[in-house]
Structure 1
């Protein structure tokens, strides 16, 4: 029975691989016997994570510095991977900018009426255009695999619901200086859901499936007052641990999810139920 959860010798691309969740996605691929191909902007961090995974799990992890907003870099990397492995089996579209609410009180940059077009363009270039370009090229390589494969998009609970801007309010600030969750986060994460549905119906004849997960927030040294407020909106009464999505990622990448296609799975402690 456990064989259906095996990723043994499956070559799996992970974008944003050295980040908080990307490194967890890479770890579960390695734990299940897969070959994690780590893509990120810092070659040294990619190398460090690859070495760590090799030592811990004995897999042939490898890292590449690839800017997924630049199509020529993706094309070059696809050629390298095809030469080395011939096929790939899965893509995890995880990379994204994480627009911060911090410092908004001083400049109010995150508010819609002030939001810089340069930040809009940068956030969409990474989170949405980058995911499209990766699907275009790595996804096509998956479609050439005789056994097909899968694409997994990492969306968010805020791809399903609007951000509750009350979470970010600062006592004593006037309304026009109150920080908010930036618009680009919602747009990118909702866009990934649309991309998922498109891709789910694009290569079905090649047995290429596409699904998305919508994780809730991960506890990561947030302000105690923020934690109190956000956990009061989650039925389970807490944010996620950083390793808590590994089982879901493994399921969706493995043969145990062989009939799951076009699914949008919320994993948010129940936040979107309320």
Structure 2
């Protein structure tokens, strides 16, 4: 175990999800205390138990709905009551409704607004409420998960011949997250709170071989990333090694966005 995050208390929203589980494990492995915050409390508890089995005392579960102010405030209060402080929050949750993922022509106005509102709105709400807590505490760290498709226009050609598409909501959401990050960083100037973002490339999750081949053609070597490929940049942004990074976006995509 390294000590880059020695005893730092880090809340990870969507902590029981695909990336969230890996983020929480990386935090614990680096000496921090991972707060697995998820709207599915049983999943959060299961994830925390698995991590704590390997890193005793370094994971704890809490229920969190990022679209509910009451839930966000309850999460903050619970973690603060348990550990006495919160050093950082990672906005990683991925809320979406049952119609998410349709092609542009099939997306309704209502679904577009619902999905953008839940995701960007949820990141705003978590950031707003945690920033209020961090102000009182005297400092804190907010990390927002964006995407390469918040940085560049979608490469629609990689989806040709597959049932996949790049949802319009996703591109709008992730670009919005990046500017929310910059806004917060400047607004919170002088408070001891820093705000940065991570923009990953595609993450391996059972995608069709045809898609993987086309995607890799735009990359420098590996192509689609494994979940573990993001852990180094996360730990860096959470650690004191990045103490003077603020309002920045770190892209990890094997060159896909070039």
* 1:66-98 CA distance string (max 9 Å, x none): 211111211222222232233211010011147
Native 8 Å contact 1:157 1:214 kept in 2: yes
**Structure 1, gaps ≥5 residues long:** 103-108, 172-177
* Deviation string, structure 1 residues 105-152 (Cα, Å, up to 9, x no partner): xxxx72223202343233223321111110111222122223x22111
More relative contact order, 1 or 2 (CA 8 Å, 6+ apart): 1
Could you give the per-residue CA deviations for residues 206-244 of structure 1, whole angstroms, max 9, x where no partner exists?
211111111000112211111111111112242111111
Is there any run of 5+ residues in structure 2 with no aligned partner, and where? none
1:128-143 equivalence runs, <5 A: 128-143=120-135
Q: Alignment RMSD, CA only?
A: 2.3
Instruction: Note if contact 1:89-1:145 (Cα within 8 Å) is conserved in structure 2.
Output: no
- 1:270 paired with 2:255, answer yes
Distance 1:100 1:189 in 2: 19
> Which of 206-215 and 248-257 deviates more?
206-215
Answering whether residue 151 of structure 2 is matched by residue 160 of structure 1, we say yes
From 223, 230, 254, the equivalent of 2:215 is: 230
Distance in 1 (CA, whole Å) between partners of 2:124 and 2:99 is 26
Distance change >3 Å, CA 238–CA 124, structure 1 → 2: same
Answering whether residue 110 of structure 2 is matched by residue 125 of structure 1, we say no
Whether the 8 Å CA contact 1:69–1:130 is kept in 2: the answer is yes
Partner of 1:30: 28
Report the number of matched residues. 258
* Residue aligning to 1:56: 54
Larger Rg: 1
Over 3 Å counting, the alpha-carbon distance change for 1:86 and 1:203 in structure 2 is: farther
Is the CA contact 2:63–2:75 (under 8 Å) kept in the aligned structure 1? no
Q: Aligned runs of 1:1-274 on 2, under 5 Å?
A: 6-97=4-95, 110-146=102-138, 148-170=139-161, 180-273=165-258
Displaced runs of 4 or more, over 6 A: 98-102
- Secondary structure at the aligned position of 1:151 is classed as strand
TM-score, normalised relative to structure 1: 0.87
Change (3 A) 1:151 1:188: same
